[in-house]
Structure 1
């Protein structure tokens, strides 16, 4: 009888505490896209990025482990993608083209190096096709994973599209999907991720229509923002900034495809598909207003109209002429 060769002991994955900062950066840098506007990328104390317009559009956002994502649900690639696109959407919502990002990663010592390189690949997958360079950032140790991204953009000679420009009579329009991310999160929380993998992916890797932002600016959009905290909450921000009421059409009329996409998941969980569509966050679509009669650029679709308010009113949101009949208006970072 031949001897049985014993299996070699399983090797523990290499973690952040096993390598130096320089070693980790050496693994990350080759994975990152340079970007069309990058003059000098990572490696020096600062990067240099062209600003052809002469003005730089800047935004930043943060993801905190166990607050915005969980590692048992999200791979490094997922978090890298999500961290990038939620910032790129902010630039698109100003009518600008994103050009570069800088990234800070706080990593606990037991975080696998493979997770970190996956994070870099996720950044690259989101930024590379858009011509956006990942041009630098910082690494630090900490008790949990924290990601911050600062993004820069170029207006291309156009005026920025602000939240405050909507006027009574404007058409309200939306580009992108609604409710998918909220449905995916609900499925994960309920342990039913396998019931609708496409909705779970919409939560883990939202895919906003970034090109629609500059297209909306060229088409004469009067106001615009990234819908990150829910349609009702973010519509209210435009309404208050502009001093108007945004009267949204009935959900079944305005957003039937979105209702249909999340309907089965809502039925499974005993939830409201309409509430996900109206209040669910993190799909990162674009909400905009356009002058009456304007040709809406694809993929914008009309979902309502801006109306006048009294001289002392702060503005607000209606659905089919009535106050929204939902329990919440959307995501609040400080709510319990």
Structure 2
């Protein structure tokens, strides 16, 4: 008796195979003028204006996302957002993206289609064209994304350029994703705005380039927490960065979660990661619109480069770090 073919709603990745999986991912792709050869050849071909800037991130099920917390579409969007933010932090313009996907054979094809739809939607928002990648079988869903950007006529904005006397400013949300993660970890799905920010970060697309044009001397993507990431800038530039808590307005969703769990909402803002806001240092003067001053850059003393809060060392962890015990 011939074996029946599973309906499209019931099909798994094992049913359609590798090439069917790839076809579902690349179907309906848009292409930017910078891309002359996209998926379907041995390599992609794209044009770069100025210096090429490249960044890679890996997202692993159970570490960076959970399927019971996030939809496939949200995971697809997040896969692009967390990587494109690194290009923004260099003052560059995102151009092209390459994605490799490892999945178990029993994963429903519907999940892959929804993931691809989310990936394409966020790529379009970021101004990216998907130009290639790879697929493989894997025990857990594993997503590797590489984004390529261009600097045009400007030099990339590095972490090493902060100078005493400058203003430290941020653009984007702070504390929202950490508050959302805390809510999800306790079995809640609200406040919706905070939970959604954890599922899909709201990257301030285009602001990295505007910061570069506005004279930013150093810049970083806030992925591990504001204090932790500013410390990367302080160490790379050999300076002391002081953050002023009076500069922050606590968003209502962050305040609501903090109140529910008995936590200082400022801890979410200062140490919460995964918002993918941008922090940059600017010469004294007018900041680009949308950027908010939160501190200053000072000469490092005998204690060496550091980050302080209101002039004093911060008590407790400053942010997320993989492999840290405790």
TM-score by length of 1: 0.92
Cα deviation code 1:88-120 (max 9, x no counterpart): 110010000000000010001111111111111
Q: Are the aligned partners of 2:193 and 2:253 in contact in 1 as well (CA < 8 Å)?
A: no
Match of 2:270 in 1: 278
Match of 1:26 in 2: 23
Cα deviation code 1:288-334 (max 9, x no counterpart): 000112x2112110000001112x54311111111113x21100011
Q: 1:269 aligns with which of 261, 280, 300?
A: 261
Match of 2:227 in 1: 232
1:37 equivalenced with 2:27 (yes/no) = no
1:333 equivalenced with 2:326 (yes/no) = no
Q: Find the residue that maps to 1:217 and give its secondary structure.
A: helix
1:107 equivalenced with 2:103 (yes/no) = yes
Q: Are the aligned partners of 2:24 and 2:112 in contact in 1 as well (CA < 8 Å)?
A: no
- How is 1:1-336 mapped onto 2 (pairs within 5 angstroms)? 13-53=10-50, 55-193=51-189, 195-250=190-245, 253-258=246-251, 260-293=252-285, 295-310=286-301, 313-325=303-315, 327-336=316-325
Aligned positions, number = 320
Unaligned runs of 5+ in 2: 1-6
Q: Are the aligned partners of 1:33 and 1:132 in contact in 2 as well (CA < 8 Å)?
A: no
Q: What CA distance in whole angstroms lies between the structure 2 residues aligned with 1:305 and 1:222?
A: 13
Q: Find the residue that maps to 1:34 and give its secondary structure.
A: coil
Q: Are the aligned partners of 2:90 and 2:158 in contact in 1 as well (CA < 8 Å)?
A: yes
Q: What CA distance in whole angstroms lies between the structure 2 residues aligned with 1:119 and 1:232?
A: 32
1:279 CA drift (Å):
0.4
Q: Are the aligned partners of 2:307 and 2:313 in contact in 1 as well (CA < 8 Å)?
A: yes
Q: Find the residue that maps to 1:116 and give its secondary structure.
A: helix
Unaligned runs of 5+ in 1: 1-9
CA RMSD of aligned residues (A): 1.6
Q: What CA distance in whole angstroms lies between the structure 2 residues aligned with 1:12 and 1:285?
A: 38
1:65 CA drift (Å):
0.5
Structure 1's consecutive aligned runs of 4 or more residues displaced over 3 angstroms after TM superposition are none
Q: Are the aligned partners of 1:239 and 1:315 in contact in 2 as well (CA < 8 Å)?
A: yes
Match of 1:3 in 2: none
1:28 CA drift (Å):
1.7
TM-score by length of 2: 0.95
1:207 CA drift (Å):
1.0
Q: What CA distance in whole angstroms lies between the structure 2 residues aligned with 1:146 and 1:121?
A: 17
Q: Are the aligned partners of 2:220 and 2:279 in contact in 1 as well (CA < 8 Å)?
A: yes
Alignment CA distance shift 1:33-1:313 (3 Å): farther
Cα deviation code 1:54-88 (max 9, x no counterpart): x2100000001001111111111111111101111
| Structure number with larger C-alpha Rg | 1
1:130 CA drift (Å):
3.0
1:127 CA drift (Å):
1.0
1:273 CA drift (Å):
1.0
Greater Cα offset, 197-206 or 265-274: 265-274
